[in-house]
A and B are shown apart, each in its own frame.
Chain A
């Protein structure tokens, strides 16, 4: 049997057979192609408009170099990262345990659900004014907004995950002699890990959105502030530079998060 299957040309090994839809290109070739295409279209657009309306890739690159040399861009990246990571970490630390308990204990779930269903329609940025009133114009108000953003996202996903897990493994554990507490830590928690990772990743994404929104409105540093002030002074290339930096920041943070998740929880059926 095995010989027959191998003769068909399926390489033996752990790699799952791909349900390919024709694309057999190496990933780097695809990425390179997409990048080249983007640069061509971008250059084309910049040629039919003007630099302050649509700066070319070259002008944007120059802006990046200048902003890096003056220290403005690294500073902005640093402060925005600081706000995101601080707020997001606090949000995760609070959100995950709360969501686990709410997902497993009906009574707790019934207590928090009305709040959740109410606040899900209130975007984080709506709290900015109040946050400034409560925490001042400094870092605390921005971090508070990120905490709210990530706490909410992480909570929603983790709770949904903890609620949806199959009961059978818990039953098996109980009849193998596990205590209720052991079931929670040794069965329910591992079962919920994929949902937690999804929640934490989405929470990170939303944190980026919130930080920029907060910095656009009320900040004198950070990537959002940089993009906004570039518009004020019609330095469009600087705004482009900020947007590119933002995308790369997100990409880097998410890649590291995925890498860490795969390292730590590679045995779990992660959704990536």
Chain B
């Protein structure tokens, strides 16, 4: 499934934030990050809070520019956001508060000028996928936290981007909905061959989903410390012994990368 061209590549990327009067000197979030995500790959990024996962995603999305180094997507340098890279934000403030669930989902197809019929069909399809068909006419302020997040996911999927950048998309969901969404995203990924960069705190989630897992070190100047291939066969529906032993192994690596002393 994976082809050899790097779908998302970061080469020697450094990202510093300028200082302010409150915090003079600035802050160097990422330093010398090298990462190559293969086309069609499901890549999970694990790391402690504040290590720079969102920052890394923002660079790939084109929301911010790297201080130095190269960020490219399918061989082209990233200069701006674009519909080839769908972004699911960590925060639910990303929704359009004045549009209904259905209108939020229709936004991408509509600004890109898809014909009315196809637009409507996609809205229905993805409303159903995230289980919001009955709530299609609600405004975001009338939704629960989990429903907002599902709206965001449907909105991005309805745009059918090649690459998905997902920032802890399931963190706000209840355990049942989360495992349902995990299965769905794995199914969509397998059916469509999209490239997915998926940020999470959750080791088990990364193990359910990823082909490879990148472990980030604690900041400042954090980097992708290690990359691990997940040798588990798919579908990964069960807590096998292999799963548990890899889980434990991974926990130790993360503790080491995060230099254990700090708490999350």
Contacts and interface: CB of A to CB of B under 8 A. Distances in A.
Interface string B143-176: 0000000000001100101000000000000000
B87 A269 contact: no
Interface in B97-147: 97-99, 107-108, 111-112, 139, 141
B236 interface: no
Given A176-B107, A267-B139, A169 B95 contact: yes
A169 B111 contact: no
B81 interface: yes
Contact of B159 (A176, A190, A191): A176
B108 A174 contact: no
B86 interface: yes
Contacts, number: 71
B112 A177 contact: yes
A268 B82 CA distance: 27
A177 B84 CA distance: 8
Given A182-B111, A186-B111, A267-B139, A175 B95 contact: no
B112 A169 contact: no
Given A177-B82, A177-B83, A177-B108, A172 B159 contact: no
A269 B161 CA distance: 31
A166 interface: yes
Interface string A137-181: 000000000000000000000000000001011011111111100
Contacts of B93: 166, 168-169
Contacts of B198: none
A269 to B, nearest CB: 7
A67 interface: no
Nearest to A177: B83
B96 A187 contact: yes
Contacts of B86: 175-176
A186 B97 CA distance: 12
B59 to A, nearest CB: 13
Could you say which of A171, A174, A175, A269 has the most chain B C-beta atoms within 10 Å of its C-beta? A175
A171 B87 contact: yes
Interface of B: 61-63, 80-83, 85-87, 89, 91, 93-99, 107-108, 111-112, 139, 141, 155-156, 159, 161
Interface of A: 166, 168-169, 171-179, 182, 186-187, 190-191, 193, 267-269
17 contacts: A166-B93, A169-B93, A169-B94, A171-B61, A172-B95, A175-B81, A176-B86, A176-B107, A176-B108, A176-B111, A177-B108, A182-B111, A186-B111, A191-B98, A267-B98, A268-B98, A269-B141
Given A175-B82, A177-B159, 14 more contacts: A168-B93, A168-B94, A169-B97, A171-B87, A171-B89, A171-B94, A172-B95, A173-B111, A175-B61, A176-B155, A178-B107, A186-B107, A187-B96, A190-B98
